[in-house]
Structure 1
Amino acid sequence: MQTAHVVAAACLTMSSVALAEQTSVNGTPRHEESESLLQEIIVTASRREERLRDTPSAITAITGANLETMGVQSFRDYASLVPGLSQRDTGAPGLGTIILRGMNTGGQQTTNTTAYYVDDTVFTASGFLSQGALVTPEPELAEIDRIEVLKGPQGTLYGASSLGGLIRIVTKKPDASEAYGNVRTEFTTMSGGEEGYMIRGSLNAPIVRDKLAIQAAGYKRSLPGFADNVATGTEDANSSDLYGGRVVVRATPTDDLTIDVSGLIQNIENDGYSYESLVPGTQRPLYGDYKYDHYRNFGSSLKYRLANATLTWAGLDAGSLIASASYAEYDVNTRSDATSTYVPVAQARAPVVLGTAIPANTGALANPSPSMDKFTADVRFVSNRMGPVEFMGGVFYTQEDSVYDIDILLQDRATGANLPSPLDLLYHTQTTSDYEELAGYGNLTYFITDRLDIQGGIRYARNEQRASIRGPNALYAYVSLPKLEFPFEDSQSTYLATVRWRPSDSISTYLRAASGYRPGGPQTNSNPPPGAPLLIDPDTVWNYEAGVKGTFLDGALSTNFSVYHIDWKKIQLNALDASGVLLQTNGGDAEVDGVELELIAQPISGLTLTANAGYTDARIVSVLPGVSTATGARVGDNLPLTPEYTVAFTADQRISLTNDMTGLLGATLRYQSDMPNNYAASTTAAQRTLASITTVDLRGGVEFDRYTIQLRAQNLLNEHAYLSVANNVATVIQPRSITLAFSAGF
């Protein structure tokens, strides 16, 4: 704790990660050192273009160029740069649960509390049984203009499942005025592991000058493995391949009309997981660092697909009309060793149900596979300022189909072959969730003076769900069970109110109150006991927040500060009744208090210092007895996998070497305090808390003409630490890596 206080205090003397890498020319970054970076960032989080400094809410904006400079390659890499953002990391790219401001309920959570958008395309499943919290998209940086992380519920503008906030990927757009492109290669070596590489190309080309352009990017990234599977003798078993691309066409037939049509694909192939087996009940390695013992080399495969068309018409005197239609889908197949959990079940049930015993040396393969396809349409009108008033109104529609298959297969551990039928299939279930929503939303800002304004917003949404469990040919421990279907419909209103005061051109302050919700659904227990809820209500949050944003010292120092309190009601949780029947219910309440600080300082020419600090206290304030029995949660427990303190520093110095050559030096320090791994009563004391993590990255390079060469060292001190622990297996952070990168613009 003393370390946390020292690092947090140091933040007050330094400077943030809303650092903007300004525009680029012919694919090569252009740096402007004298301007205030925070002041100049333009964000669209409020569904209209605004300077980040003027937006009355907590937002962190990070550009794709800066992420690449810092060597960010994964969601965890950039999450650790953002106050209040974390992840339930499951050990492979593309998987995991996004957590904002502590809003998560532990390993049993399967639906989202943080929404994920790519431009106007919703990539978040909303259905009560959608299992959408199991995936985390990993966009390639060539496709990104910036990432906007919106803190606190975004229910009025973005709808369901944004209890903690929203991550919005803003992609690059074509330029019809000139042709340019970029190629980049990277070569990486991992301490104690293997080598990896990345190759990528992007091109912007006018088709009709100033009227029509196309932009395309494609890439292949091979991430080196470093974890060894001692059971199979495979070294570096967790390597991954990510590949895909994006194409977007922009047409501007008139000055007032813009049409964007885009498509994106990404495939991820994970050969294994960054696991480490532990001595049962402890956090001591069982076989040594970065070693685990799956009886086969299990992995996962993920496919992400996205298509969007957006029309923006600014030809009305009163404002702009924006219409967007999107299609998004993901298809995920995961495989893991579940022997310790399910083989004892099979050994007990097979003699009773099938009249035969399970052979010795049997292993269990768990094969959970969520998938979703989602169509979304949004039409909104964004007004210009009309005297003392500006407003926005829109209509939103989405229809999604989610399927979650789980198979537990019994296999011969030595060969990996399935046991003879019917011993091979222990469990087979299919959960479906068809979700349809129609919503209307609007907000209005009234300017009392040019420096003082108030805003109110409301969204009304109605959804219909058709859910099922078990699916066709369902098996539960060798017993066939019928498919069950559940209809459900619900409506919910969310609200927003802000007061913004700008005492000067360089300072903006605000007060904000906002609500959000996560859709409810049907009770899926086939025979609920008397008094059990038949419908699960939405869980809701109210977020109360105050913030200050400003630039000082003639733009040499920029600040972004917020303090907040969240009330989370009717949390959707599992519970056990007195007879031991597992139920879903609205099982408790939680509160979150937090402080977030971002600073940027440019004390001398060419030097940029940034700092982030976050404090999050997320705790349970009430819980039903049955929930405590099922989950181990108790009043006063902190919500899992949210560190109390997080800090990130960066320092980047540009040094003029010659008229044509610039040297680049930089460093990143990340720190997170210890955090609860799970609820206190659900795990051993030794696995209850995960230790703090401190990592250091260094980077250096040169720019000349259109070329950049960079050498990066990530996790320079080779910190060994755990991100989560379950079933005596830890997810471990990546060891030290050295990367040489070369890029060329043309």
Structure 2
Amino acid sequence: MATGAAAQSEASSQSAAAPEADSVEASQGEIVVTASKREQKLRDVPSAITVLGGDTLVNLGVQSVRDYATLTPGLTVQDSASPGYGKIFIRGLTTGGLQQSATTVYYIDDVPFTASSANGGGAFIAPDPELTDIARIEVLKGPQGTLYGASSLGGVIRLVSNSPDPSGFSGSARAEITAIDGGGVGYSASATLNVPLVTDRLALRATGFSREAPGYVDNVGTGTNNVNRSRHQGGRLALRWTPTDRLSVDVVGQLQDIDTRGPALETDVAGTLTPLDGARRYSNFFDAPTRVRYRLASVTGRYNTDLGQIIATGAYLESKLQTEVDVTSTYSAFFPVFASAGYVYPANTGTAVISTIPAVKKTGELRFVSRRLGGIEFVAGGFYTHERIASPTDIVARDKATNAQLPEPLGTIISIPVNDTYEEVSTFGNLTVYLADNLDVTGGLRFAHSTEDFNTSYGGVYYTAFLGGPVKLPPVHSSHDQLTYLATLRWRATPTLSFFARAASGYRPGGPQVAAIVPPGAQTRINPDTVWNYEVGFKGDFLDRKLSLEASVYHIDWNNIQLYTIFNSSQLLANAGKAKVDGFEAQMAARPTKTLTVTANLGYTNSRLTKVDPGVTAYIGAVVGDSIPQTPRWTASATLDQLVPLGGDLQGQVGATFRYQSDRFTSFPGSVTDPNLRLPGRTTFDLRAGLSYHTYQLQFRAENVTNRRGIANYTPGVPSFSYLMRPRSFTVSVSTTF
């Protein structure tokens, strides 16, 4: 449901100093979030937020970022056909397939996951941590630059985990079997244990999971059926120590491996959506696996004072995305040229590009969250991040029969090792002044200083044949200072209704110019691109909290957009455009009876370019007035859940989910290298039914029951490729809590 599940526990009526709440719901319909880095009722936060509670995620069968994006107005995933691989953006802030760095930041608890660097590959990573033992997901819409810093142009996604509870032993277990119509069968199993080691002082919470998502696409080139099946394995350990009533320390370690044998592709006739090899089929000489690795360790300390709470967090994160793509049709044309230079390739040679984005991110944050001190409250702190990317891209020659790489020097056609280091130090603060008990204003400011160092080289047969040998570029360096701002006005007309106006800025870091050839007069440093978001909205509970409504209207100015351009015949990244985005978002949750819950949301996004340099038009075909690619203008979803008492402790449940996404375009209309194609809109329906008895639950789900063919993304060429969404599937799950 768009704004949370049924309410369960009580929360304070005022903002509390403690900024972390383990439950998304408070009693009597109150939903508590920590989006402003302090605990607040959702309706009192002067910003657009969508919250999905942990029970809601389980009930709806949400397992990935792609699942909850369709339930969140304004949130879009540009799919790349494998888990953990793609682009995430909010409110249309993307530049399409050539975008290099992220415009939306992903947080796991208090730890930023997304790479900040302009050359850190953040745009290609769609973080996909397993949604097991999750308290809630908070999606913050609009720039969050003052509290969350760099790259939060469109907003922030926060995944909040359940914390250890030292008051008692508890646990849960869940198992599922999923079958896809015309595809494979998969399973999932997970369990959580909460163990108090010292009553009320020390507790351990352990979660483990193993899931195999079934495939539904065949690679006719290798004869592999259901090639896009993926395996997800990992776990989380969390330790909470509360030595005194004022001090608590959380130590967390978690890891996850995702291995996908092949992408969810369909080969199409060039420039169309017509299958070339048959529905749900493609033809590669190998299966093109994707590997994702997450490793996270963090320590968070909280100390309560009479004036507020001091929070210190330190974290170490390793992430890795490795993809393999068949590019034989592109590079086989060079084989005759290589032969003239003495590099003769066998007739049965194929080529593959292996891209790896391994990142190491170390972060630290220290902040003070005040209590209500008379007529004011505030958050103030400092943040540090050090990010290192060692990202090789290799185009290799392989024997088509065995998929083995040819021996050197033939084996490596192109090798481009990239090393990038990004460092940032920032300080931030938000101050709220209460003009009256029901009227307040907030001002926020963040200053950030960042540096980036980049170096790379080019090697392999291609450069030896054409340039006489490897090419090593000199290292480049850049530094930037950036200010971001926030101003809000909030009026609580009644205890259950509030109105807000918000103006906020955000930025995406720039960096050094990393092109192989930088002609005179070109930008040697890419400046940050920035946004200003202006928004008004309201949030309220009505009819004794049986009805909750939230809506906002916004306008965004996006300046100095980082776009690829042509400058004196060289392809460069530059600050080369402007855009505007107008839209609105609305969410509703109704609880007309104790057994019936209905939710709905609607989002509208109108994003378009308002200024484009001529070089951008020459390179990617963009002109003033073009819509920003991959952005659906309309999104909508709705859920309905009815509980059915069956006598005694036996209870039934039936429910349905509706999702809609309007059509969108893959690129700019004038693009030559990436021809524009309209992807059709998609409407899907899910059905579910279940039984519960005491602490045991049984559920059956049918997803995409009409079996609508959904296309998530598209790659042009000869042939072309459609990236497919999951067809109709059936799931049976059993679970228990204790």
* TM-score of Structure 1 vs Structure 2, range by shorter chain: over 0.9
Whole-angstrom distance in 2 between the partners of 1:47 and 1:475? 51
Matched with 1:321 is 310
Matched with 2:342 is 355
- The Cα of 1:574 is off from its aligned counterpart by 1.1
Whole-angstrom distance in 2 between the partners of 1:124 and 1:349? 41
Structure 2 residue corresponding to 1:177, chosen from 160, 167, 173: 167
Equivalent position amino acid for 2:3 in 1: A
Matched with 1:656 is 645
Equivalent position amino acid for 1:668 in 2: T
Matched with 2:601 is 612
SS for the counterpart of 2:190 is strand
- The Cα of 1:421 is off from its aligned counterpart by 2.7
Deviates more, 1:287-296 or 1:201-210: 287-296
SS for the counterpart of 1:138 is coil
- The Cα of 1:524 is off from its aligned counterpart by 1.5
Equivalent position amino acid for 2:482 in 1: Q
CA contact (8 A) 1:429 1:474 kept: no
Equivalent position amino acid for 1:415 in 2: T
Residue by residue over 1:62-109, the C-alpha shift from the partner in whole angstroms, topping out at 9 and shown as x without a partner, is: 012211110112211100000000111011111111011111111111
Structure 1 residue corresponding to 2:69, chosen from 79, 84, 88: 79
- The Cα of 1:683 is off from its aligned counterpart by 5.8
Q: 2:444 matched to 1:457?
A: yes
- The Cα of 1:472 is off from its aligned counterpart by 8.1
Matched with 1:5 is none
- The Cα of 1:654 is off from its aligned counterpart by 0.8
What are the equivalent positions in structure 2 for 1:288-367 lying under 5 Å apart? 288-314=278-304, 316-344=305-333, 346-347=334-335, 349-352=337-340, 354-367=341-354
CA contact (8 A) 1:409 1:427 kept: yes
What are the equivalent positions in structure 2 for 1:479-558 lying under 5 Å apart? 479-558=469-548
CA contact (8 A) 2:47 2:500 kept: yes
Q: CA RMSD in A?
A: 1.9
How has the CA–CA distance of structure 1 residues 30 and 607 changed in structure 2, closer, same or farther, with 3 Å as cutoff?
A: farther
What are the equivalent positions in structure 2 for 1:94-173 lying under 5 Å apart? 94-173=84-163
- The Cα of 1:661 is off from its aligned counterpart by 0.9
CA contact (8 A) 1:431 1:471 kept: no
Matched with 2:254 is 264
Whole-angstrom distance in 2 between the partners of 1:270 and 1:470? 30
How has the CA–CA distance of structure 1 residues 476 and 612 changed in structure 2, closer, same or farther, with 3 Å as cutoff?
A: farther
How has the CA–CA distance of structure 1 residues 109 and 430 changed in structure 2, closer, same or farther, with 3 Å as cutoff?
A: same
- The Cα of 1:677 is off from its aligned counterpart by 1.2
Equivalent position amino acid for 2:504 in 1: A
What are the equivalent positions in structure 2 for 1:224-303 lying under 5 Å apart? 224-303=214-293
Equivalent position amino acid for 1:351 in 2: A
- The Cα of 1:21 is off from its aligned counterpart by 4.6
Matched with 2:668 is 679
TM-score by length of 1: 0.94
SS for the counterpart of 1:658 is coil
Equivalent position amino acid for 1:514 in 2: A
What are the equivalent positions in structure 2 for 1:192-203 lying under 5 Å apart? 192-203=182-193
Matched with 2:14 is none
CA contact (8 A) 1:621 1:635 kept: yes
Whole-angstrom distance in 2 between the partners of 1:541 and 1:171? 30
Structure 2 residue corresponding to 1:743, chosen from 703, 713, 735: 735
Matched with 1:402 is 389
SS for the counterpart of 1:619 is strand
Equivalent position amino acid for 1:17 in 2: A
CA contact (8 A) 1:570 1:588 kept: yes
Equivalent position amino acid for 2:44 in 1: D
CA contact (8 A) 1:454 1:499 kept: yes
- The Cα of 1:471 is off from its aligned counterpart by 6.8
What are the equivalent positions in structure 2 for 1:692-711 lying under 5 Å apart? 692-711=681-700
Residue by residue over 1:278-315, the C-alpha shift from the partner in whole angstroms, topping out at 9 and shown as x without a partner, is: 0011111111211111111111111101111111111x
The higher-RCO structure (CA 8 Å, 6+ apart) is 1
Matched with 2:550 is 560
Q: 2:456 matched to 1:469?
A: yes
SS for the counterpart of 1:630 is helix
- The Cα of 1:419 is off from its aligned counterpart by 3.2
Deviates more, 1:146-155 or 1:359-368: 359-368
What are the equivalent positions in structure 2 for 1:348-387 lying under 5 Å apart? 349-352=337-340, 354-387=341-374
Residue by residue over 1:93-130, the C-alpha shift from the partner in whole angstroms, topping out at 9 and shown as x without a partner, is: 11111011111111111211000111111101011210
SS for the counterpart of 2:702 is strand
Whole-angstrom distance in 1 between the partners of 2:135 and 2:185? 29
Structure 1 residue corresponding to 2:721, chosen from 729, 739, 745: 729
Q: 2:635 matched to 1:643?
A: no
SS for the counterpart of 2:726 is coil
- The Cα of 1:144 is off from its aligned counterpart by 1.2
CA contact (8 A) 2:413 2:460 kept: no
SS for the counterpart of 2:82 is coil
Unaligned runs of 5+ in 1: 1-15
Whole-angstrom distance in 2 between the partners of 1:241 and 1:653? 33
SS for the counterpart of 1:343 is helix
Q: 2:401 matched to 1:414?
A: yes
Residue by residue over 1:445-480, the C-alpha shift from the partner in whole angstroms, topping out at 9 and shown as x without a partner, is: 111001111010000000111111227889647541
How has the CA–CA distance of structure 1 residues 96 and 431 changed in structure 2, closer, same or farther, with 3 Å as cutoff?
A: same
How has the CA–CA distance of structure 1 residues 313 and 35 changed in structure 2, closer, same or farther, with 3 Å as cutoff?
A: closer
Equivalent position amino acid for 1:733 in 2: M
Matched with 2:417 is 430
How has the CA–CA distance of structure 1 residues 561 and 254 changed in structure 2, closer, same or farther, with 3 Å as cutoff?
A: same
CA contact (8 A) 1:471 1:484 kept: no
Structure 2 residue corresponding to 1:88, chosen from 78, 84, 103: 78
Whole-angstrom distance in 2 between the partners of 1:201 and 1:370? 31
Structure 1 residue corresponding to 2:659, chosen from 657, 666, 670: 670
How has the CA–CA distance of structure 1 residues 492 and 472 changed in structure 2, closer, same or farther, with 3 Å as cutoff?
A: farther
Matched with 1:4 is none
SS for the counterpart of 1:559 is strand
How has the CA–CA distance of structure 1 residues 213 and 596 changed in structure 2, closer, same or farther, with 3 Å as cutoff?
A: same
CA contact (8 A) 1:36 1:551 kept: no
CA contact (8 A) 1:93 1:270 kept: yes
Whole-angstrom distance in 1 between the partners of 2:679 and 2:463? 34
How has the CA–CA distance of structure 1 residues 31 and 708 changed in structure 2, closer, same or farther, with 3 Å as cutoff?
A: farther
CA contact (8 A) 1:187 1:740 kept: yes
How has the CA–CA distance of structure 1 residues 252 and 474 changed in structure 2, closer, same or farther, with 3 Å as cutoff?
A: farther
Whole-angstrom distance in 1 between the partners of 2:609 and 2:150? 22
Say how many residue pairs are matched: 720
SS for the counterpart of 1:105 is coil
- The Cα of 1:343 is off from its aligned counterpart by 2.3
% identical equivalent positions? 45
- The Cα of 1:529 is off from its aligned counterpart by 1.5
CA contact (8 A) 2:23 2:135 kept: no
TM-score by length of 2: 0.95
Q: 2:3 matched to 1:18?
A: yes
Whole-angstrom distance in 1 between the partners of 2:462 and 2:390? 17
CA contact (8 A) 1:92 1:274 kept: yes
Matched with 1:588 is 577
SS for the counterpart of 1:253 is coil
Residue by residue over 1:233-292, the C-alpha shift from the partner in whole angstroms, topping out at 9 and shown as x without a partner, is: 211111100000001011111111111110110000000111001001111111121111
SS for the counterpart of 1:91 is strand
Equivalent position amino acid for 1:18 in 2: T
Whole-angstrom distance in 2 between the partners of 1:686 and 1:95? 22
- The Cα of 1:556 is off from its aligned counterpart by 1.1
